[in-house]
Amino acid sequence: GYAVFAPFYRGVRGAKGRDEFGGVDRYDVYSAIKLMRSLPEIRSEDTIVVGFSRGSIMAMLAARDCANIGGVVVWGGVSDLLLTYEERIDLRRMLKRVVGHPVKQREAYLERSPIHWIDQVNVPVLIMHSNQDENVSLRHATELARKMEDKGMEHELIIYDGQPHRFSPQMLEKAWEDLISWSQRIKT
């Protein structure tokens, strides 16, 4: 009962173009949503956008900018790119090259950080994260959930115990079950 489209971003895995970590490459995701919705068997109001890791930036941008999104899932997701720059010393060089310097190009970091414009997302949000994620700290999830709670926004936070950034096969199956269950609840 589900249709899934999982594209690679431009500049990734041999795709043409340049990965901008949520810059103009976001329009590729918007086009993918439009393409999916053009299929006769797709009900556009049931569109749920799922973003994993840095893909959560793209999913949240789509939830903000595309009409009739039914919900968004932030899975092990980056919600504050400035926090990523602070925590991930190993990514700083790449972030400076792709996004810019976090002081000189601060607006570019804020534009890619859903936590700074969460009030513009008007759909239910499921936040899924592990307390042992070594790539994206749990702080991304808890701060996003706190901000949504403060604003009275519809969201759910599920914290998985002891999983790395990429879940074990058993926990991955459990997480997909949680996601499907949530998607069915928000439709009613």
- Tell me the residue type at 109: Y
Here the contacts of 12-16 (C-beta below 8 Å, separation 24 or greater) are none
Give the catalytic positions in this structure. Answer: 53, 165
Stretch 145-170: mean pLDDT: 98
pLDDT, tens digit, 9 for 90 and up, residues 10-48: 888 888 888 888 999 999 999 999 999 999 988 777 789
The rounded distance, in Å, linking the Cα atoms of 7 and 36 is: 12
Q: What pLDDT was estimated at residue 41? A: 87
What is the tens place of the pLDDT at every residue in 66-122?
998 999 999 999 999 999 999 999 999 999 999 999 999 999 999 999 999 999 999
| pLDDT band for position 188 (cuts 50, 70, 90) | low
pLDDT of residue 148: 98
**Pick the residue with more confidence: 3 or 40?**
40
Counting Cα atoms < 13 Å in the Cβ hemisphere of 163 gives 22
**How confident is the model at residue 132, as a pLDDT?**
98
pTM for the whole thing?
Answer: 0.94
